[in-house]
Structure 1
Amino acid sequence: MQKNGFPLDELDFAILSCLQKDGRMSFTVIAEKLNVSIGTIRTRVNKLIEEGTINIIGRVNPAKVGFGAYAQIAIYVRPATLKDKVAQKIARLPEVSFLAMTSGDYDLEVDVMCRDNDHLVQFINEISKIEGVYQTKTTLYFKVYKYAQPDLNLLK
């Protein structure tokens, strides 16, 4: 199967699924689960990392480490020609966990994690000063029920 210009086969997807469940799973355990050699797993994982298909990181639970204000901000950009420039500036801000260009009423959608509401207000004031940011609409997440990676089985 061709994904993003890189050919991925069933073994690649099986490896990715294992690592999604446990990013620290050893090559030995993965090899045993998939009935292939450790060398094959090592080679495939290194290739997946090299190609940017996977990035192995420690994922933090925001609420458990002190982020009390988790919000989604819709941003309207005027003129529209400044969308990319505005997005690039916002992407550099450390509070940003997700940023996308959207269709519909607003041009950009950004998810942010802030210490508290005061920090969130400071963040909104900061992005409001960026040239091209015309309007923002903030939705505060009271409780996050699911925070996950995509289910690779949906591609089958």
Structure 2
Amino acid sequence: MRIEDNNDEILVLRKIFKSKLDDLDVKIYQLLREDGRMSDTRIAEKLGVSVTTVRRRRLRLQEKGILQIIGLLLLRAADVAYADVLVKFNQRAKIEDIKNFLAEAIANPRIYEITEYIGGDYDLLLRFFESNLENLKYHIDKFLRDNPIVEEYKVYPAIGSPKAWYRSFKVKF
């Protein structure tokens, strides 16, 4: 990736994040997005700034919770099945029951992302993964079917995520 090729992204991120990120912060993020293990020294070399500047900026972004460097399983590359599941709660569901449901979803090792919605037809998005489609369907149904606060759910098996997690990789041993 060449940083100068991403001027549109820099402009958009600068506008969205307003005073929270400047161009250098965005460029540091872009490099870490491509390689989360990239050292501050290597980032400084690529951007033509001091290592101290990069380290200070990266630490500030991490301390504010804006930047988090994480490990990510590339599900498609690992050839596992995954699906987005939209969940609609029963109108009579109590807040405490919804909190308990969310706690169970967070604790479920087969759910790798949860997004809450305001308004619309659905209240929640759960992203499940499993070794194959048959097991995926079983565990989704096991978690959601017969749950009294779940009025309805729809399962959308995914075939990829071209922008977010659709990266090629090489396994090194």
Identity percentage of aligned residues: 29
* Residue equivalent to 1:70: 82
- 8 A contact 2:110–2:128 mirrored in 1: yes
CA distance in 2, matches of 1:31, 1:11: 10
Q: Provide structure 2 residue ranges, at least 5 long, that are not aligned to the other structure.
A: 1-13, 166-173
TM-score (norm 1): 0.77
Structure 2-normalised TM-score? 0.70
Q: Give CA deviations for 1:58-97 in whole Å, capped at 9, x if unaligned.
A: 3222133352x21111111012554842334322212122
1:2–1:8 CA contact under 8 A, matched in 2 = no
| Structure 1 residues 10 and 90: CA distance shift in structure 2, 3 A | same
Matches within 5 A, 1:98-117: 98-102=113-117, 103-117=119-133
* Distance in 2 between residues matched to 1:126 and 1:111, nearest whole Å: 12
1:134 aligns with 2:151: yes
CA distance in 2, matches of 1:115, 1:99: 20
**Count of residue pairs brought into register by the alignment:** 147
Secondary structure, counterpart of 1:134 in structure 2? strand
Greater strand proportion: 1
2:76 and 2:160 in contact (8 A); partners too = no
Alignment match of 1:33 (pick from 32, 41, 46): 46
**Paired amino acid for 1:22:** D
Question: What SS class does the counterpart of residue 62 from structure 1 fall into?
Answer: coil
SS in 2 for 1:137: strand
